[in-house]
Amino acid sequence: MKSILLIITLIVGFYSPTQAQTTSEKTVLVPVWTEADRKFLLDNLTRTKEELISETKNLTKQQWNFKESPDRWSINQIVEHLALWELIFTRENSVALQNEGIPGFDHYLHDSLFLQPKEMKPNNALDATKPFSFAMPLGNNEGKNNVTWLITMHNESIEYLKTETKNIRVHYICFGPNVHQNFMMVFGHTDRHLHQIRKVKAHPKYPK
């Protein structure tokens, strides 16, 4: 009987909560932001910036405001929408970076979830902002001013990423994507709407 009690005592001691917690903590994989990650973001943010400038260069007023149909956006509205969302992404990154990183966060999401295909089925911007409509473009600004607004924010992100040394993969937006992944959504969103702009320009009735 004494031998059995001794064995039970040893087992309980071996699997103590403190030791189990320590073992669990050791298995948490802390994501690391690498130089390859930095290059990936810089390459794609620079590329999308240059493509946007190229696609909107020297457009006439008629071209800026042409719509494929009354329920579709003009190029002017598309660029304004991009600027509105980039402002949101920038704000989210700013808040996440000002807060302490969470290296032990155990619900880390894979980057593949944030790689958006350039061509996607049409969707309604209101679906992502219900019950509000802050991402809906009004089209009151001149198109070139929307480009300036958007490119200014794009450039700020590029300059920031060139010199950042902290691990931005442990700074999270509302315990969802980390800052690196949020930057992936910035250029992914731009790519989607670059495709939309090219579609507008390819319309048979687009002003020449």
- CATH code of 149's domain: 1.20.120.450
Residue-number span of the structural domain to which 34 is assigned: 30-201
- For residue 49, is it within any domain? yes
DSSP SS3 for 102: coil
Residue 15: per-residue pLDDT: 33
- For residue 142, is it within any domain? yes
Distance CA 156, CA 169 (A): 19
Q: What is the mean pLDDT of residues 41-49?
A: 98
Within a 10 A sphere around the Cβ of 117, how many other Cβ atoms?
Answer: 10
Distance CA 95, CA 174 (A): 10
pLDDT exceeds 90 at position 21: no
Confidence label for 59 from pLDDT (cuts 50, 70 and 90)? very high
Interaxial angle between packed helices 143-163 and 75-98, expressed in degrees from 0 to 180 and rounded to the nearest 10: 30
Residue 115: per-residue pLDDT: 84
Q: How many domains does the chain have?
A: 1
Among residues 164, 189, 197, the alpha carbon closest in space to that of 179 is found at 164
Lowest average pLDDT, out of 13-17, 122-126, 164-168, goes to: 13-17
Confidence label for 123 from pLDDT (cuts 50, 70 and 90)? low
58 backbone φψ class: left, alpha, beta (φ>0; ψ -120 to 50): left
Share of the chain above pLDDT 90, in %: 68
Residue 116: per-residue pLDDT: 73
- For residue 103, is it within any domain? yes
- For residue 154, is it within any domain? yes
- For residue 132, is it within any domain? yes
Among residues 153, 202, 203, 197, the alpha carbon closest in space to that of 57 is found at 197
pLDDT exceeds 60 at position 98: yes
* Residue range 142-200, pLDDT digits in tens: 889 999 999 999 999 999 999 999 999 999 999 999 999 999 999 999 999 999 999 99
- For residue 139, is it within any domain? yes
pLDDT exceeds 50 at position 27: yes
Residue 14: per-residue pLDDT: 32
pLDDT exceeds 50 at position 3: no
pLDDT exceeds 70 at position 107: yes
The answer to whether the CB of 97 falls within 8 A of the CB of 91 is: no
pTM of the model: 0.82
